[in-house]
Structure 1
Amino acid sequence: MTASPTDRPAPRSGLRPVTVVTGGSRGIGAATCVRLAREGHDLVLGYVRDAAAAEATAAAVRAAGARCVAVRVDTSQEEDVDRLFDVAAGELGPVTGLVNNAGVTGPLTRLVDVRTEDLRRVIDVNLLGYLLCARRAAREMTARGSGAIVNVSSAAATLGSPGEYVHYAATKAATDALTVGLSKELGPQGIRVNAVAPGTIETDMHAAMGDPDRPAKVAAVTPLGRAGQPAEIAAAIAWLLSPDASYTTGTVLRVAGGR
């Protein structure tokens, strides 16, 4: 039987939401951490290598009045994911939200030229990592009968990104399927699962994959005529985690400037 809102445990008075954000040190992840801190969340910031960037984001979160713990984690590794959530529960309290954001693209190139090791890494982080984090979050949230998960997808899931990174696009299409399926699986337990699908956003990801001028190029074929900003994606994520989205689940919210 599906539980009604009045049947589910109410949030404990006075307690702040505790949200895990993977890939939280830079770009969309960092903007999301700061936005959520301003909206009353305490944060667990997962990062894979750049400790200085992670600490800078954590400092911004604390300056906004929130508690924050930065945890080095490779989300493709089960033991790392378990440690991330264990640290969250031990230092901040029960996890109420997850933002599945950590992702990689590999170099921009046609599929025929992609190295097998790059294919494996993209699949391991973008798909297996999301599954591992969502599974651990679901286990904790199911026990309490509430929670929210937001997966960061991409407009590439439907555009396909030919000549750039169809392998990355494929993992983001899988993210959309994960979002829809898991929302139906967890809805009866009072857990909402949604996704945000950004278009081209001004981050350092483009330089990392070999084309720092890509946002300007894509702007020419984007109806709004520009690339997006990380804060614009963070706003969408924050809404999906908020009580204002209490009847929203299984949704892939496209924030892509019209593409």
Structure 2
Amino acid sequence: MQDLKGKVILISGASSGIGRATAELLASKGAKIIVNFRSNEESATEVVYHIKEMGGEAIAIKADVTIKEEVNAMVEHAINSLGKIDVLVNNAAGGIRQSTFIDASEDLWEETYKLNITSVLLCSQAVLKHMIPKGKGKIINISSTAARIGGAGESIHYAATKGALNTMTIGMSRELIEHGIIVNGVAPGVVETPFHEKFAPNDDRLTRMSASIPIKRIAKPIEIAECIAFLASESSNYILGEIINVSGGR
């Protein structure tokens, strides 16, 4: 049963795409949501408004999740406003820009790693300061099937960070379970989000990608959110260190 009533859930990068769908779905299941955003305040405000319109509770907090001071301030703000954080969804990520491996600059490599991996470290450490004393909590890391296929379309740098995130998720799960913290990951395939609109900007490419998926279509953000909701709920309490593919069989 995916009843999240009373849970307080922080979602990084929740102003659009999978993050937004997750925020709205988890709120519909009774959770109180912290909508993190970096620059898209208008969309983050819309998410909060929509949740409140449904009868839920949410707040939006601006923070660059690659900057430790901003992450710590966000978590403190969340705790002061809603009293606790039960679940962290490390969703904020990106490919920055496309590049062949041969032409990838050190700056691109480091910037992508900072956004997709360092952010997970900073957000998790900040939240764990509050979860560990309680002896319970959940962290859900949003990875990608790109980690398994090496990254298509000049995105090896992005895929490499998601491979690192998978390893990080397994390691976190083993270290943190002694504190009662359950860590798992979700690996979406191709999803109808601004990310894929940016990295697959023409219909032909999306059509080719769809054809390579056994289910013959790309996913909707809500389909990824449903898996996240399961991992956030009590129904998944015996699942640990898993990376669940939600990819239509790709």
Indicate whether the TM-score tops 0.5: yes
Amino acid at match of 1:177: T
Amino acid at match of 1:85: V
- Cα deviation code 1:233-259 (max 9, x no counterpart): 000000001000011111100001101
* Equivalent residue, structure 2, for 1:222: 213
Does structure 2 retain, via aligned residues, the 8 Å contact 1:111–1:163? no
**Structure 1 unpaired stretches of 5+:** 1-13
**Residue correspondence of structure 1 range 1-259 to structure 2 within 5 A:** 16-209=6-199, 211-213=201-203, 214-259=205-250
Does structure 1 retain, via aligned residues, the 8 Å contact 2:5–2:30? no
Q: Which TM-score applies when normalising by structure 1?
A: 0.91
Q: Provide the rounded CA distance (Å) in 2 between the counterparts of 1:133 and 1:102.
A: 10
- Cα drift, residue 162 of structure 1: 4.4
- Cα drift, residue 109 of structure 1: 2.9
Does structure 2 retain, via aligned residues, the 8 Å contact 1:95–1:141? yes
- Cα deviation code 1:196-226 (max 9, x no counterpart): 0000001111233362434332101110001
Find the residue that maps to 1:112 and give its secondary structure.
coil
Q: Provide the rounded CA distance (Å) in 1 between the counterparts of 2:201 and 2:102.
A: 19
Paired-residue identity, %: 34
- Cα drift, residue 163 of structure 1: 4.3
Moved more, 193-202 or 119-128: 119-128
Label 1:90 to 1:222 Cα distance change in 2 as closer, same or farther (>3 A).
same
- Cα drift, residue 68 of structure 1: 1.0
What's the RMSD between the two structures over aligned residues?
1.5
Amino acid at match of 2:224: I
Q: Which TM-score applies when normalising by structure 2?
A: 0.94
Does structure 1 retain, via aligned residues, the 8 Å contact 2:7–2:31? yes
Label 1:49 to 1:204 Cα distance change in 2 as closer, same or farther (>3 A).
same
- Cα drift, residue 59 of structure 1: 1.1
- Cα drift, residue 119 of structure 1: 2.0
Q: Provide the rounded CA distance (Å) in 2 between the counterparts of 1:61 and 1:212.
A: 32
**Structure 2 unpaired stretches of 5+:** none
- Cα deviation code 1:50-90 (max 9, x no counterpart): 11111111111212222111111111100111011011101
Moved more, 141-150 or 112-121: 112-121
- Cα deviation code 1:16-48 (max 9, x no counterpart): 111100000000000000010011110111111
Find the residue that maps to 2:39 and give its secondary structure.
coil
- Cα drift, residue 173 of structure 1: 0.7
- Cα drift, residue 152 of structure 1: 0.2
Moved more, 182-191 or 111-120: 111-120
Does structure 1 retain, via aligned residues, the 8 Å contact 2:131–2:137? yes
Label 1:203 to 1:15 Cα distance change in 2 as closer, same or farther (>3 A).
closer
Q: Provide the rounded CA distance (Å) in 1 between the counterparts of 2:192 and 2:46.
A: 19
Find the residue that maps to 1:53 and give its secondary structure.
helix
